[in-house]
Structure 1
Amino acid sequence: MALLRDWTLALGKQVGRPAAKLQKDSGDPEVARVRAAAAAADWNTVRAVLQARPESEDRTELLWAVGETARVERWITEAVEAEPGAALPRLVAGIRYISWGWEARTSARATQVSREQFEVFHDRLRTAEQFLYEAAEREPGWSSPWYGLQTTGRGLQVGQALARRRFEATVRRDPHHLGAHIQQLQQVCDKWGGSHEEMHAFARASVLGAPGGTLLGRLVPDAHIEQWLSLPRGEDAAYMRRPEVAQSLREAAEHSYRHPDFVRRGSWNGLLNSFALAFSLVGDRDAARECFRATEGRVTESPWDYVDRDPVAAYRKHRAAAGR
């Protein structure tokens, strides 16, 4: 806690405040490198970057950088065919087909998605599952294929029991895998067949069950934001002002970014952005201001895109309200 407060005090001494800018990734230079290689259909470089990042160090961000790059599906199958015994090209193909599937579905509500879109969506997810299972067979110790299968499972609506088994398969290999926990949080929320109670219980248990300084701390604000979004106007604000909501946020903050072992690595900035919005909605201006200072103006799309189509505008509005 002292470590972060010293850091934020130092930031507070700066003249003015940092300009708010959208940050698409963690700032890891390898993300830009692997994305450029994927866009150029340079499998040798993509493979080298991914192989240099061990599974134990969570290469999820690198995989998504490749998977979200347009037209990867046009060349990745050639790499799969050229390396029949290799897991990595199959893993990349699976992640690309997940992203490509969601592109077809779009982020619209289910009632606004056509039957044709759903057919393409499900077809691509089923292809992704085939690649991911093949990757898992070739590398039984890898967590990434199972994390990918969590995502396909939610899109294909495999049900809570199978979704839970896929989550457990991921965390057996990597107990504190952030992406896996974020996927499971969505899986157990009300809109995907779970409940608010189950969602909050999962978030709290995951955070407090992890070592101090954990990035899993963001599960708690994410869960509260999820419930806030589900409520009608008036009830949403009343929910966030409940004393138990503020208390659960403070508890998670102490075990994550306020903990002495917290390190700015990986998705640390996404965690602080989530807490900044949650504390803003709660009305705790001091805690929100602390988070805004620590982000140094780096805006992540989530959770601000839930508030406004322009995440930077939403961030600026709430930062100003917090007095930062």
Structure 2
Amino acid sequence: MALLRDLGLTLGKWAGRPGLTLQKDSGDPEVPRVREAAEAADWPTVRAILEARPESEDRTELLWAVADAAGVERWIDPVIEAEPDAPLPRLVAGIRHITWGWEARTDARAKDVSREQFDVFHARLRIAESRLYEAAEREPGWTSPWYGLQVTGRGLQVTKDTARRRFEATLRRAPLHLGAHQQQLQHLCAKWNGSHEEMHAFARASTFGAPGGNLLGQLVAYAHIEHWLDLDRGEDAAYISGPQVAASLNEAADHTYRHPDFQRNRGWLPLVNTFAMAFSLAGDRAGARECFRAAEGRVTEAPWYYLNGDDPTEAYRKMRSLAGR
């Protein structure tokens, strides 16, 4: 993490930055709507919004917006009792228990998490798994339950074979599901008992095995960021500034947002933010400027929170300045 210190990227309370907008989601207008409905325990509205977004169009972000609302675990069980054959309430309950479980664990390193916290974390994830399997049984064609099981699997530290089977189950239903690929990438990270070699191989195979212009090129950028984060002082800067990293990023960019078939659909803004950070760390100012120009000051929390958890916009601003924007 030496490069952070060299750039002076220190933590500080976010107070907003002129000309920058912190965007906590992809910009989908249904996300704040469904979040507000969940916070108000308004199941009819939550259900209507979720049902209007078919699984084929990936409603993952909407489900996480519901799951982030405090108290969902209290009102969703009566809904399940009232609709015993309905898969959607079970899916919502499963995703909520994932978020609720991570709230108990917190984002602290494992060594700083107490045994009691881990017990609550694992108990909630096991409830999540039960609900997700129930949803999958009722709607075998749905993708979201299997995506959720990828997340619970990481928290419960399932075997690599089990993680792979859950990933493949998601892909059989949605071959280009970005969230599923992101979860599998995390399973393969060194910090989750994977390796840098496995992670990079997966990112490249997924990116270049898919049609040009899709969002999976983001995996290559994330893999380099994850590799950099895992290294010690000195090694991190030497790795990320190597010419092979910039070359890899440009190759992925050519296959993704530079490709003539690329469209600015849901998910494009987090993608260009991710490449902006990766190019910046790699010292490729031209590549970074291109992404900053596309983002137009719209800052997504991920991946900038890796640089400044309290103020992602400050990290974005400093990197943009270094790129000459």
Task: Name the counterpart of 1:315.
Answer: 316
Q: Distance in 2 between matches of 1:259 and 1:18?
A: 32
Letter in 2 for 1:202: F
Task: Name the counterpart of 1:56.
Answer: 56
Q: Distance in 2 between matches of 1:166 and 1:262?
A: 28
Secondary structure of the 1:271 match is: helix
After superposition, the C-alpha distances for 1:285-310 in whole angstroms (9 at most, x for unaligned) are: 01100000100111111111111121
Task: Name the counterpart of 2:14.
Answer: none
Q: 1:156, CA displacement in angstroms?
A: 0.3
Task: Name the counterpart of 2:143.
Answer: 143
Secondary structure of the 2:266 match is: coil
Are 1:202 and 2:202 an aligned pair? yes
Q: 1:18, CA displacement in angstroms?
A: 7.9
Q: Distance in 2 between matches of 1:81 and 1:240?
A: 52
Task: Name the counterpart of 2:108.
Answer: 108
Are 1:162 and 2:162 an aligned pair? yes
Task: Name the counterpart of 1:230.
Answer: 230
Q: Distance in 2 between matches of 1:55 and 1:39?
A: 23
Q: Check conservation: 1:160, 1:193, Cα contact below 8 A.
A: no
Identity of aligned residues (%): 73
Unaligned runs of 5+ in 1: 1-16
Where in structure 2 are the equivalents of 1:35-184 lying within 5 Å? 35-184=35-184
Letter in 1 for 2:317: R
Q: 1:217, CA displacement in angstroms?
A: 1.0
Q: 1:266, CA displacement in angstroms?
A: 1.4
Letter in 2 for 1:315: Y
Please report the RMSD computed on the Cα atoms of aligned residues, expressed in angstroms: 1.1
Q: Distance in 2 between matches of 1:56 and 1:260?
A: 23
Runs of 4+ in 1 over 3 A off after TM superposition: none
Task: Name the counterpart of 2:214.
Answer: 214
Q: 1:262, CA displacement in angstroms?
A: 1.0
Normalising by the residue count of structure 2, what TM-score does the alignment of the two structures yield?
0.93
Q: 1:211, CA displacement in angstroms?
A: 1.3
Letter in 2 for 1:31: V
Task: Name the counterpart of 1:250.
Answer: 250
Task: Name the counterpart of 1:7.
Answer: none
Task: Name the counterpart of 2:191.
Answer: 191
Task: Name the counterpart of 2:259.
Answer: 259
Q: Check conservation: 1:56, 1:174, Cα contact below 8 A.
A: yes
Q: Distance in 2 between matches of 1:245 and 1:27?
A: 30
Q: Check conservation: 1:18, 1:297, Cα contact below 8 A.
A: no
Secondary structure of the 1:22 match is: strand
Q: 1:126, CA displacement in angstroms?
A: 0.2
Q: Check conservation: 1:150, 1:180, Cα contact below 8 A.
A: yes
Q: 1:54, CA displacement in angstroms?
A: 0.4
Task: Name the counterpart of 1:8.
Answer: none
Q: Distance in 2 between matches of 1:81 and 1:57?
A: 28
Task: Name the counterpart of 2:7.
Answer: none
Q: Distance in 2 between matches of 1:127 and 1:237?
A: 42
Are 1:32 and 2:32 an aligned pair? yes
